[in-house]
Amino acid sequence: MSVSNELETKMIALFQTIDLALNLYTWVLIASAIFSWLYAFNVINSSNQFVNSVGMFLYNVTEPLLRPIRRLLPNLGGIDISPIILLLIIFFLRSLMWNTIFPLVA
């Protein structure tokens, strides 16, 4: 195997790993939004230890990226569109990665 093929294989693995991480974060973000709706409408028992642990995990994982977006967005009267904005950013990054950057290095 030549050095070029080995480097290309490593770059493909790196891009696939980054893509997988972004894909997983997308699902965590969607789960967090659904969880917040269920919590807000009192569909789930907020005093349940497991529910509380899941909620704290989702909040701790998503809030660091959502907070700066919320600061930039205008107040929409209780409607939080920051998860949608973050999903659009993730989709843009994935598209940029595979359609623009990957062909240059592969």
Instruction: Assign 1 a pLDDT band (cuts: 50, 70, 90).
Output: low
For the chain, the distance separating the N- and C-terminal CA atoms, rounded to the nearest angstrom, is: 16
Mean confidence (pLDDT) of the chain: 93
Q: How far is CA 105 from the centre of its chain?
A: 25
pLDDT at 78 over 90: no
* % the chain with pLDDT above 90: 77
Q: Give residue 100's pLDDT.
A: 93
Q: Which residues contact 15 (CB under 8 A, 6 or more apart)?
A: 97, 98, 102
Q: What is the mean pLDDT of residues 72-93?
A: 94
